[in-house]
Chains A and B, each alone.
Chain A
Amino acid sequence: MSFIRKPLILHADLPRNGVGLTLRDYEGGMSTLCAGCGHDSVSSAIVQACWELDIEPHRVVKMSGIGCSSKTPAYFLRGAHGMNSVHGRMPAVATGAMGANRRLYCIGVSGDGDSLSIGFGQFAHAVRRNLDMLYLIENNGVYGLTKGQFSASADVGSKAKRGEVNRLRPIDPVLTAITLGGTFVARSFSGDKAQLVPLIQAGLRHRGFALIDIISPCVTFNDHEGSTKSYAYTRKSSREAVHADFVPAAEEITVDYPAGDARMVTMHDGSHIVLRKTADDYDPTDRLAAMEHVESRHAAGEIATGLLYLEESEDDQDMHGTAGTVEEPLVELPFESLNPGAAALAEYQRRLR
């Protein structure tokens, strides 16, 4: 239970990152999710990703809506402000927070119910606005807290715990995001930390909306035979199309990639994403090809994972770039620079006579 405080034991010999913090400093409260829940693995991937990136926790805001997934921001980065908002409305509060302070890192955690049903509209518009945030969907195809109803991401033919079969077509957040002009669209699996951690890092540094749809199995309601969101099914069916490694700006690229197999993308802040092709002829910068690949893998009963679509641009194309906002966060502008003063008011009113 989260109101039980997790004992904070610090060992002197724990390794420290560039800002002098240990991995433990990036943890949160004790999880109240079921033992074995995929969401807890995602939380631990976030902890590792942020620690490795030397992000000071207080520079991060953790936003969520309602549901199992939305509880998780309490379980990582205790030194960051968090906001558990209302159901399906996390994109709105994230838009406001980033609107006010563009220097923050924004991590939004949502679920398939929160993003694809009640909050589908807000999710779509956050993508469209290219809001500068990392948006994680912990996708398990099922409603947990209300005990096992299908969600909008459940596959046709997928079986509920009591045998009921889903007949409705699923909404795929990856295809949706690509269609809406998403600039960073990935899919991963909570059980694949090697894939997930660099994706989170690259997503945090991407300027704009970075979506990672993470298949994160529900051990209580959707981890049985016949479910297409179980651990066993996901492990068996995942096919990594492109593996992304993240190399921060200051670091040298030391890994040797065989020529022709890797492609390097420079991000706006100077860091790099190294894309390793794992599927034939896959080009993650080609919007149509990405959609075609995701669809064809799905038709073959597989789940395409990895960094599926990426659009890095030199231009300031996120929400603030489009709006032409000043570089300084709005919250830091001095009042004197915002108030036109009595003389300007008198001047303006001359026209109203």
Chain B
Amino acid sequence: MEEVKKGGVNDFVVKLANVNGTGSASANGLLMKSIFRMGVPVVGKNFFPSNIQGLPTWYEIRASKDGYLARSGRVDLMVAMNAETYARDLADVSSGGVFLYDSSWPRDRSLSRKDVRILGVPLSRMMTEAFEVARTRILMKNVAYLGVLVALLDIEMDVVQQLLEETFASKRKLIDANMQAIKLGHDYAREHFDCPLEFRVERMDATTGHIVIDGNTAAALGCVYAGATFGAWYPITPSTSLMDAFGAFCKRYRKDPETGRNRYCIVQAEDELAAIGMVIGASWAGARAFTSTSGPGVSLMSEFLGYAYFTEIPVVLFDVQRVGPSTGMPTRTQQGDIMPAAYASHGDTRHVVLFPADPGECFEMAVSAFDLAERLQTPVIVLSDLDIGMNDWMCREFQWDDSYRPDRGKVLDAERLEKIAAFHRYADVDGDGIPYRSLPGVHSKGAYFTRGSGHNARGAYTEDAGEYKEVLDRLRRKSDTAATLVPEPVLMSARKPTRLGVLSVGGCDQAVREALDRLEARGVALDYLRVRAFPFSRAVQDFLDDHDQVFVVEQNRDAQLRSMLLIETEVAREKLHSVLRYDGLPLNPGAVVDGIDEIMRRSQAA
């Protein structure tokens, strides 16, 4: 196993163990934001149950002066606020770490470790003495441990105060109560412990030009900027916050200033079958329309996805992946939908899939998804995951070019319809496999009957073998065209030439990059290609050709990406080695290093 390093200045992990529904999220967010404002790169990851109130929940904050944003796999400071999970929380602390707990009640003496320092603060008692209302006492306990952490980690009090004032704006009373609780915690820590700890925050300047955002919010913002006007969805974790954010942005940016009416329409459908059908109907009628869902929703949407593929209707679908199969673990992350998304539905279907790696790419790819869907007249699935979608990421500030105009693809307007002799919906006029389409309500010469049954190049019903095959073969040519239009993979070359490569996808990126640095420090050089879309562009084949051994890192059991590389490229099977993690937790770099080491060891032994 890879050695776990101890925390240091601007390089540590704080894990906060809480009870779901006790209001800990805002205190934890405040802590993360404070570190960010002190200029230290930081990432926050939520490990929450599929539950409304009562079950254990954790939030993990990693500060990293080197800018590593993956889950590190270690815990330097455990803030144990849930007595029910004391035992496992203590076990989670890395050697040399600190375990902070609420000492208002006696702790089971068996809960101790020689290599972990245990600090008790009587938080509940302090809150009971300071506040009257029961609910306030519970909420303020969260803020009080924040105060303890401010002292232990040497966070600037002014930064915390400023954040509180921004959060609660004009609610002076709330700000005062929060500050009171923070000071209580802070002063107690100063009085009783050696502050600060060896791992702590020191102001630096590595977060300028950055923001903290989650992928679902970023994707929703992308939909607004792409000009999407219609969204249909069915609530499902972990994608719900995407459509929620779209609605919130629309309220802000899409009200007609004169009438106050909405320049958008969001329909909460009766189920995912309906949600995707609505998107298809709206796109068919000419709107930029999308849905957001997760794996179980994609299963339900499969029939309609095949329909949209065969009838050539643009669709934008965000699949924020969670753990499967079946209901699986709704609040844990995985990359189990890579293959199901690419080939969703019966018959010969293949969809365009985009793989964002972080919120920045969620924003960009949301825009590209609409352009591609309309250019190619086909479903485009943006395959995010819970880790990207719901966790707080530090990213470069998003940029927007006001000269951008949507690519609406090959749509014939009334004037062009008037001029042509006859409109044939599925004719390959340009030889790129992409036909021309017409929209309803424009001109009767553009009228045609959209059908999922066999149709010929003119759009008429057919059961003729040759006519059917002509359409199906053209759709394959269209997919080849798609491979030239989708986002190119990202190549990171090692500092010295190597015949070894790593190929990965989406949310594995941060962990892979950190793992590569660790391996390089040991003298192992690996080129790295991150695939960003399916169908695979030529550069994927080139990368496979240029390397003798390629480690394929992905978060599922059955090596879905590797399987697709075998199906879709000319790579030799024995070249591709899988590094697989699928426990539902965001990938950590140690796991990648271990996986690669093990394969290398095995191949050396052989």
* A residues whose Cβ falls under 8 Å from a Cβ of B: 2-3, 56-59, 61-63, 73-74, 78-86, 89, 91-101, 103-104, 121-122, 124-125, 129, 319-320, 323-327, 329-331, 333, 335, 337-342, 344-346, 348-349, 352-353
Q: B residues within 8 A CB of A94?
A: 281
* Set of chain B residues within 8 Å of A125, measured between Cβ atoms: 269-270, 274
Q: Provide the residues of chain A in CB contact with B210, threshold 8 Å.
A: 353
A223 to B402, CA, bound (A): 65
In the bound assembly, the distance between CA atoms of A251 and B462 in angstroms comes to 44
B213, B263, B284, B399: the one contacting A96 at CB < 8 Å is B284
Q: Is B453 an interface residue (CB 8 A)?
A: yes
B287 and A84 within 8 A (CB): no
A101 closest partner in B (C-beta): B285
Bound state CA distance, A352 and B210, in angstroms? 9
Q: A99-B281, A345-B400, A352-B212 are in contact. Are A92 and B273 (CB under 8 A)?
A: yes
Instruction: Flag whether B406 is at the interface (Cβ < 8 A).
Output: yes
Residue B398 at the A interface, CB < 8 A? yes
CB of B8 within 8 A of chain A?
no
The 5 A-B pairs of least Cβ separation, nearest first, read A96-B281, A92-B277, A79-B444, A100-B287, A93-B281
Cβ of B256 within 8 Å of any chain A Cβ, yes or no, is yes
Q: Which of B260, B282, B441 has the most CB of A within 10 A?
A: B441
Instruction: Specify the chain B residue showing the minimal Cβ separation from A83.
Output: B450
Complex alpha-carbon distance, A93 and B283, angstroms:
10
The answer to whether A339 touches B225 (Cβ under 8 A) is yes
CB distance B284 to A97 under 8 Å? Answer: yes
The reply to whether B259 and A89 contact each other, CB–CB distance below 8 Å, is: no
- B342 on the interface (CB 8 Å rule)? no
What are 9 A-B pairs at a CB distance below 8 A?
Answer: A74-B461, A80-B444, A85-B277, A93-B277, A97-B284, A99-B230, A100-B229, A319-B267, A349-B398
Does B440 make an interface contact (CB < 8 A)?
A: yes
Give per-residue flags for B296-329: 1 if the beta carbon is below 8 A from chain A beta carbons, else 0. 0000000110010000000000000000000000
A74 & B281 in contact (Cβ 8 Å cutoff): no
Tell me whether A331 and B285 are in contact (CB under 8 A).
yes
* A350: nearest chain-B partner, CB-CB: B211
**Cα separation A93 to B261 with both chains bound (whole Å):** 24
User: Are B262 and A325 in contact (CB-based, < 8 A)?
Assistant: yes
Do the beta carbons of A99 and B282 come within 8 Å of each other? yes
Given contacts A85-B307, A100-B289, contact A92 B281 (CB under 8 A): yes
Instruction: Give the CA-CA distance A326 to B273 in the complex, in Å.
Output: 27
Judged by a CB distance under 8 angstroms, whether B135 is at the interface is no
8 Å CB interface, B241-298 against A:
253-254, 256, 259-267, 269-271, 273-287, 289
Within the complex, the shortest CB–CB distance from A145 to chain B, in Å, comes to: 11
Q: What chain B residues lie within 8 Å of A348 (beta carbons)?
A: 221
**Candidate in A85, A323, A327, A346 with the most chain B CB atoms within 10 angstroms:** A85
Chain B residues near A96: list those with CB within 8 A. 230, 232, 277-285, 287, 289
Let me know if B265 and A345 touch, CB within 8 A: no
Measured CB to CB, the nearest residue on chain B to A102 is B265
Q: From A331, which residue of chain B is reached at the shortest CB distance?
A: B286
Q: Would you give the shortest CB distance from B453 to chain A, in whole angstroms?
A: 7
Cβ–Cβ contact A326 & B402, under 8 A: no
CB of B440 within 8 A of CB of A326, answer: no
Q: A97-B284, A99-B267 are in contact. Are A81 and B448 (CB under 8 A)?
A: yes
Is there contact, CB below 8 Å, between A104 and B270? no
A160 vs chain B, min Cβ distance (A): 27
> What B residues does A86 contact at CB under 8 A?
277, 303-304, 307, 452
- Name A82's contact: one of B265, B270, B287, B449 (CB within 8 Å): B449
Does the CB pair B440–A340 fall under 8 Å? no
- Whether a CB of chain A sits under 8 angstroms from the CB of B397 is yes
Residue from A61, A320, A341 in contact with B265 in the complex, judged by beta carbons closer than 8 Å: A320
Question: Complex Cα distance A349/B208, Å?
Answer: 12
- Closest residue of B by beta carbon distance from A330: B229
Pair A352/B224 contact, Cβ less than 8 Å:
no
Establish whether residues A341 and B461, one from each chain, have CB atoms under 8 Å apart when the complex forms.
Answer: no
The CA-CA distance from A82 to B212 in the complex, in Å, is 46
Q: Are A97 and B285 in contact (CB under 8 A)?
A: yes
State the CA gap A84–B455 with chains docked (Å): 12
Is the CB–CB distance between B285 and A2 below 8 Å? no
Closest-by-CB residue of B relative to A340 is B253
Q: In the complex, which of the residues B265, B398, B406, B439 contacts A99, with contact meaning CB atoms closer than 8 Å?
A: B265
Nearest Cβ distance between residue A119 and chain B, in whole angstroms?
A: 9
| Residue in chain B with minimal CB distance to A87 | B303
**A88 nearest CB neighbor, chain B only:** B273
Given contacts A95-B274, A100-B230, A349-B397, 14 further A-B contacts (CB under 8 A): A58-B441, A58-B444, A81-B447, A84-B450, A91-B274, A95-B281, A96-B282, A96-B284, A121-B271, A326-B262, A330-B230, A345-B399, A346-B397, A349-B398
Min C-beta distance of B215 to chain A, whole Å: 13
B37 with A353: CB separation less than 8 A? yes
The answer for the CA separation of A145 and B36 in the assembled complex, in Å, is: 64
Q: Tell me if A73 and B443 are in contact (CB < 8 A).
A: no
- Asked if B194 is at the interface of the complex by the 8 Å CB criterion, the answer is no
* Chain A residues closer than 8 Å to B265, beta-carbon distance: 99-100, 320, 323, 325, 330
In the complex, the chain A residue whose C-beta lies closest to that of B270 is A125
**A330 touching B287 by the CB < 8 A rule?**
yes
**Which residues of B sit under 8 angstroms from A124, Cβ to Cβ?**
270
Q: Which of B256, B286, B398, B462 contacts A345 (CB 8 A)?
A: B398
Query: Across the two chains, which residue of chain A brings its CB closest to B258?
Result: A326
Nearest A residue to B444 by beta-carbon distance?
A: A79
B191 at the interface (CB under 8 A from A): no
For A89, A99, A103, A104, the residue with the greatest tally of chain B CB atoms inside 10 Å of its CB is A99
Interface string of B361-375 (1 = CB under 8 A from A): 000000000000000
Q: Is the CB of A58 within 8 A of B442?
A: yes
Cα A48 to Cα B256 in complex, Å, equals: 39
Asked whether, in the complex, the Cβ of B447 is within 8 Å of the Cβ of A325, the reply is no
Chain A residues within an 8 Å CB radius of B225:
339-340, 345
CA distance A346 to B398 in the complex (A): 8
Name the A residues within 8 Å of B275 (CB-CB). Answer: 92
Is there a chain A Cβ closer than 8 Å to B401's Cβ? Answer: yes
| B451 within 8 A of partner (CB) | yes
- Find A93's partner among B227, B230, B284, B406 (CB 8 Å cutoff): B284
Chain A residues, Cβ within 8 Å of B36: 353
The reply to whether the CB of B83 lies closer than 8 angstroms to some CB of chain A is no
Which residues of B sit under 8 angstroms from A74, Cβ to Cβ?
A: 449, 461
- Bound-complex Cα distance A85 to B253 (A): 34
Once bound together, how far apart are the Cα atoms of A3 and B289, in whole Å? 32
B213 proximity list for chain A (CB < 8 A):
352
By beta carbon, the residue of chain A nearest B417 is A58
Whether the Cβ atoms of B444 and A337 lie closer than 8 Å is: no
Give every chain A residue within 8 A of B447 (Cβ-Cβ).
57-58, 78-82
Indicate the member of A62, A86, A327 with the most B CB atoms within 10 Å. Answer: A86
Assuming the contacts A100-B286, A101-B440, asked whether A93 and B263 have C-beta atoms less than 8 A apart, the reply is no
Q: How far is the CA of A93 from the CA of B385 in the complex (A)?
A: 28
Residues of chain B within 8 A (CB-CB) of A100 are 229-230, 265, 281-283, 285-287, 289
The contact string, 1 if C-beta is below 8 Å from chain A, for chain B 190-227, is 00000000000000000100111100000001001101
What distance in Å separates the Cβ of A62 from its nearest Cβ neighbour in chain B? 8
In the complex with contacts A58-B444, A96-B232, A96-B283, A326-B277 CB distance below 8 A = no
Is B489 engaged at the interface, CB distance under 8 Å to the other chain? Answer: no
Smallest CB separation, B140 vs chain A (Å): 25
Are A99 and B278 closer than 8 Å at their CB atoms?
yes
- Is B285 within 8 A of A61, CB to CB? yes
Other-chain contact of B441, A91, A103, A324, A326 (Cβ < 8 Å): A103
Q: Flag whether B535 is at the interface (Cβ < 8 A).
A: no
B307 CB to nearest chain A CB (Å): 5
Complexed CA–CA distance, A55 and B254 (Å): 32
Other-chain contact of A335, B207, B286, B405, B449 (Cβ < 8 Å): B405
Q: Which chain B residues lie closer than 8 Å to A344 at the CB level?
A: 253
Known contacts A81-B447, A82-B450, A333 near B271 by CB under 8 Å: no
